[in-house]
Structure formats: C-alpha cells, structure tokens
Amino acid sequence: MAIPNDLELEVVKRMYHEAEEAGWAYLPDTERTTIYHRWADDPQIGERLSLFIKTSAARRLWFKDGPMKEFSRALNGSGKYASLVAVPAADVGTLTTRALGPGWEPDESTRQVKPLRVLVRKDEEAEWFAWGGAHALRHLVYAALRAEANGDPTPWTLCVVTSFVKPLPVEEKAEHLRIGQRSGLKITHVSGE
C-alpha cells in the first residue's frame, strides 16, 4: 500500500526540519543512524507511517533510501522534496564564485543531479563544477573519472561544501587534496553558509 502523498510530504517536511537543525550534511554516519532509529518510532514521523511501512527497520530503510537520499538535492533546489527545505543551501553561483573566483557563470541548462553538477563558463573556458558535502566526494570523483574515461575532455572542479559550525578536520581536507592530486582532479573546500 502506497503512502498518501500529503502524509508523505508532511512527514518528510518534519524530517527535513530536524535534519537541518542537526546539521545533517556534516553529521557522521553514526549520528545519522541514531536519528533514523529515533524517527522510526517517533509519533510525528515513523508512527504516522506505520500503516504503510509496518516495521521500525523498514521505516529506517525508507528514511535512508528515500527522503534522506534526496536531502542534499532538495537543499540545492532539485527533486520532488525541494519545496520542503526551509533554508536552502548556497546557490551554485555563489559556490562557483567561492571555489573558482569571480567571472565564472553556471549554465543551469546543463545541471545534473547524480551527483550535483553543472557546466560553468568564464570567457572561452568551460568546466564541470560538481558539489556536495564530504560524504559525496567519492561520488563526485567517480563521476569525473567516468566522464574522462568515456572521452569527455572537459576539466572538472569538485567542490566539497563545508560548514563553520562543524568544520572538516584538517587531516580530512588534506586527504581530499591528495585524492585530487592522485586523480588529476581539482578539489576545493568552500563554506556553504
């Protein structure tokens, strides 16, 4: 039995509100798991879905593989849950300027969502600009390497969006830069706030 659309949107809106308050994009997996467990039996979230998703374990899986898989996209204005985000992430134009400097303009007609990326241009130059939190870096690297392996000569910049509130450890940033050097990809870190 499918979850009625209005109920799904109400539940996801509450989840997104709590995720935003918790700083979801910057939480380690262990803290995310704790939140999934709490949501599964929360009277305003999981219990409202119990007629449609019978067990706590199944609800946790639905949270993880459904709405929360879409959370980053929704923060960036994409996907079916985008309207449920109270405080959207910095727009791609802002991120592009922070990562590459002034003059780079995103071509929104080229935007793709898995992973989030867009072609950016400055004068005669063009490159792919892909962005996400530290959790998304492996997906960004894979997309760039795959494009190159399939013959796309366009350079890539991978932008890891960070937070002043929960900054990435210096060692993790350094590791990202080493991955960029090893793979021949430009990796930058910018604040999304």
Q: What is the CATH number of the domain that holds 176?
A: 3.40.50
Number of domains making up the chain = 2
Q: What is the mean pLDDT of the chain?
A: 92
Q: How confident is the model at residue 139 (pLDDT cuts 50, 70, 90)?
A: very high
Q: Is the peptide bond before 155 cis (omega within 30 degrees of 0)?
A: no
99 plus 181 within the same structural domain = yes
* pLDDT tens digits along 26-56: 788 899 999 999 999 999 999 999 999 999 9
What one-character DSSP code corresponds to residue 136?
G
**Taking the CA atoms of the chain, what radius of gyration do you get in angstroms?**
18
Q: How confident is the model at residue 137 (pLDDT cuts 50, 70, 90)?
A: very high
Indicate the pTM of the whole model.
0.74
105 plus 57 within the same structural domain = no
**Average of per-residue pLDDT across 159-168:** 83
Domain that holds residue 169: 92-191
Report the b/e string of 65-100 with b at 16+ CB within 10 A: eebbebbbbbbbebbebeebbeeebbebeebbbbbb
